Amino acid sequence: MPRPVILTTLLLIFVLLSTATMANTGLETAQWAEDVDYLITNLPKVHKNLFFKLDQAQFTQMATALKTDLPSLSTDQILTRLAQLVAAVGDSHTSISLPIFSVYPLAFYVFADGIYLLQADPQYAAALHCRLTKVGDQEIDEVIAHLSTVIPHENQAQLSTMLPQYLVVPSILTGLAIIEDPAIAQFTFVDENKREFTLPVQAVDLGTGLNLMGKVTYQPFYLKHPDRIYWWEYLPEHQAVYVNYSSCRDIEGYPVRRFTAEILDLIDQNPVEKLIVDLRNNAGGNSGLLDPFINAVAKNEELNQPGKIYVIIGRRTFSSAILNALSFKNKTHAVLVGEPTGGKPNHYGEVKIFTLPNSGLRVSYSTKYFKNSAVDTDSLLPDLEAILSLADYEAGRDPAMDAILFTLPR
């Protein structure tokens, strides 16, 4: 079976895993209670504005209820209740890292019409490209409702980004009472013929590695160099410069300033009718690294014209990458293409971390508020929507690039 194009991958689960090898979850009730007290005492002190959305009384009530329930809760239930407490704040940059040691070897993607399986261990190949309808005995809408309480998010795009990761974590599913046995879970699917079937899926120890396979073998252009966080290519047939910028951080020995200097030289030396900056997979970092490039593009009178600059955004565009997209929008004639971003234009950020004293769980929190737009929207919205469908995925189409190169006029 061929290896699939990676739109989402279980490797992303390591977003949640920073404390997996350090956490101590074999605690007594009194120790858990101390951790809860430490959390609710310190998080309001260090966060820029913890109660911007959640009422302080509700936060305290949730914590008190958790402490009361501790003697009757399993470790998985305690961890999910802690995650719910932090997620209730409503800040995507404020979260608690959960210790995760096993996953179900399935990788999902949230399309507009449902959640589909794109990658799996070969023994579950029958469910590839089928729509998920149940986990355990719960309908998928109910499952999503439960998972949304532990996922820090501020909009539907961020929830869609994170759902595939949480869907495959046994400890989270058991902690939320979606399933009973973490060793094996029942996943129910509907195939293209509307036939419903259920697969029992066994959890896999992350230490043993994962063997995920899929059906699609095409390599979309924007994933041409999956090992690079930024790269460029000149497309002579379109007189277009494509810039893939998937992380706002410097590569040692090849910093962003050198990378962008190469692009500016390329623009000076070649006919360029379109500049395409792809931020769809950029989750942030240091937004200032790209500012000199954006300013240079803005000052280029020949390039900075209507119909010449395009910025691709998507559900994984987050934090500093949103600031870069906004800078292009505000300083140039850029057209935003793609789907709504996972982060908000106006958001809390500049993350710092503290550790709970007994469990060692790491809590991330925001120390600044960034107001970048006069209008407070949940997502940065594209000027032109280009939403990937399962049919696009199967056919090897990239709706965003297709719209820019073949649909939009010069």
Please write the tens of the pLDDT for every residue from 5-60: 445 444 444 444 444 546 778 899 999 999 999 999 999 999 999 999 999 999 99
Q: State which amino acid sits at residue 288.
A: G
The answer to whether 332 and 304 have CB atoms below 8 angstroms apart is yes
Helix residue ranges per DSSP H, 302-377? 320-331
Residue 321 gets which letter from DSSP?
H
- Which of 199, 194, 89, 109 lies closest to 151, judged by CA? 89
Q: Where in the chain is the domain with CATH 3.90.226.10?
A: 221-343+379-407
- Which of 16, 168, 215 lies closest to 100, judged by CA? 16
Q: What is the pLDDT of residue 219?
A: 80
- Distances in Å between the alpha carbon of 403 and those of 45, 168, 297, 385, 397? 47, 34, 22, 9, 11
pTM above threshold 0.75:
yes
Place of tokens 């914590």: 63
| Range scoring the smallest mean pLDDT among 6-20, 199-213, 262-276 | 6-20
3-state secondary structure of 138: strand
The whole-chain average pLDDT of the chain stands at: 93
Q: Which two tokens stand for residue 185?
A: 């879970």
Name the pLDDT band for 3 (thresholds 50, 70, 90). very low
pLDDT tens digits, one per residue of 217-239: 778 999 999 999 999 999 999 99
**Cα distance between residue 383 and residue 404, in whole Å:** 12
pLDDT of 354 over the 50 cut: yes
Q: Where in the chain is the domain with CATH 2.30.42.10?
A: 10-15+100-208
The CATH fold of domain 221-343+379-407: 2-enoyl-CoA Hydratase; Chain A, domain 1 (3.90.226)
- Which of 348, 333, 390, 386 lies closest to 109, judged by CA? 390
Q: What is the pLDDT of residue 409?
A: 59
pLDDT of 110 over the 90 cut: yes
**Cα distance between residue 360 and residue 363, in whole Å:** 9
Q: Which two tokens stand for residue 323?
A: 């600031």
Q: Element (H or E) spanning 20, and its range?
A: none
- CATH assignment, 10-15+100-208: 2.30.42.10
* Vertex 281: Cα angle to 262 and 248 (nearest 5): 50
Q: What is the pLDDT of residue 25?
A: 81
pLDDT of 281 over the 70 cut: yes
